[in-house]
């Protein structure tokens, strides 16, 4: 399964979104489902793996701490497409669209951590108007920028806020050792415009930090 999603420049990101079309969706209703079914399979990448993104740490803040996860030559490589030997793509999201009723529609709260200058998890699934919580575990500050995005109309800013570190972090020798301590979380509600269901979160200080999300209107 994948880290893949295509939309111009967004293809670099690596979220593979497979949409199975049914009927237009108006509102979702919870009912008792009888004789329900399931879909199984594997999402695979056909063709060559896209080249990873490379970031020169000399031009980006906190090169010592964030540089620990690098090539050792001053570059941070972001492998967005993770493919196994059979061609299976990691972090795939497969959805059904247009489902009007079915099983209860409940999703776990989205909790994202900034840890070692990366966002975890890389892919999130949520409903429109759901909240996301982002916590900085690093001994450096991050800047959270959220965008909704679409292939035709481009991006729209959802939020832009600093994500402070825990003030009790010891920052004397970050290259050799450090601890992870939670800072004050950032909580934001995600609301996308009509006909949009993809958003991306990126750090304004460290542009190699990404986390992607898909907004769904049913639990399938």
Question: Quick one: what percent of the chain has pLDDT higher than 90?
Answer: 46
* Residue 173, pLDDT score: 63
| Residue 194 located in a structural domain | yes
Query: Contacts by 62-65 with C-beta closer than 8 Å and gap 24+?
Result: 62/117, 62/140, 62/205, 62/206, 64/174, 64/175, 65/117, 65/138, 65/139, 65/140, 65/174, 65/175, 65/178
Residue 3 lies in a domain: no
Q: Is residue 5 part of a domain?
A: no
Is the residue at 82 inside a domain? yes
Cα dist from 187 to 20, 108, 112, 159, whole Å? 32, 15, 10, 10
What's the domain count of the chain? 1
**By residue range, what is the domain housing residue 55?**
10-216
Spatial separation of the C-alpha atoms in residues 10 and 8, rounded to whole Å: 5
pLDDT (tens digit, 9 = 90+) per residue, 165-209? 998 887 666 656 677 899 999 999 999 988 888 999 999 999 999
Band the pLDDT of 21: cuts 50, 70, 90.
very low
Q: Is residue 2 assigned to a domain? A: no
Which CATH number belongs to the domain containing residue 203 in this structure?
A: 2.60.40.420
Structure tokens at 216: 């769904």
Whole-model pTM?
0.79
pLDDT digits (tens, 9 = 90+) for 120-177: 999 999 999 999 999 999 999 999 999 998 777 778 899 999 999 998 887 666 656 6
């Amino acid at each position: 399964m994948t880290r893949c999603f295509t939309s111009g420049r967004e293809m670099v990101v690596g979220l593979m979104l497979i949409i199975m079309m049914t009927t237009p969706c108006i509102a979702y209703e919870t009912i008792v489902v009888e004789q329900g079914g399931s879909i199984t399979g594997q999402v695979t990448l056909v063709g060559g793996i896209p080249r990873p993104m490379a970031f020169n740490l000399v031009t980006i803040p906190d090169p010592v701490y964030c540089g620990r996860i690098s090539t050792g030559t001053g570059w941070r490589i972001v492998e967005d497409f993770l493919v196994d030997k059979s061609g299976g793509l990691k972090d795939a999201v497969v959805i059904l669209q247009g489902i009007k009723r079915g099983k209860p529609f409940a999703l776990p709260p989205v909790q994202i951590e900034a840890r070692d200058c990366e966002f975890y998890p890389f892919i999130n699934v949520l409903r429109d108007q759901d909240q996301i919580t982002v916590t900085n575990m690093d001994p450096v500050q991050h800047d959270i920028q959220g965008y909704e995005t679409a292939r035709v109309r481009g991006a729209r800013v959802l939020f832009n806020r600093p994500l402070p570190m825990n003030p009790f972090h010891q920052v004397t020798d970050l290259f050799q050792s450090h601890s992870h301590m939670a800072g004050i979380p950032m909580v934001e509600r995600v609301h996308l415009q009509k006909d949009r269901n993809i958003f991306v979160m990126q750090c304004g200080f460290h542009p190699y930090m990404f986390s992607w999300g898909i907004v769904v209107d049913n639990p399938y």
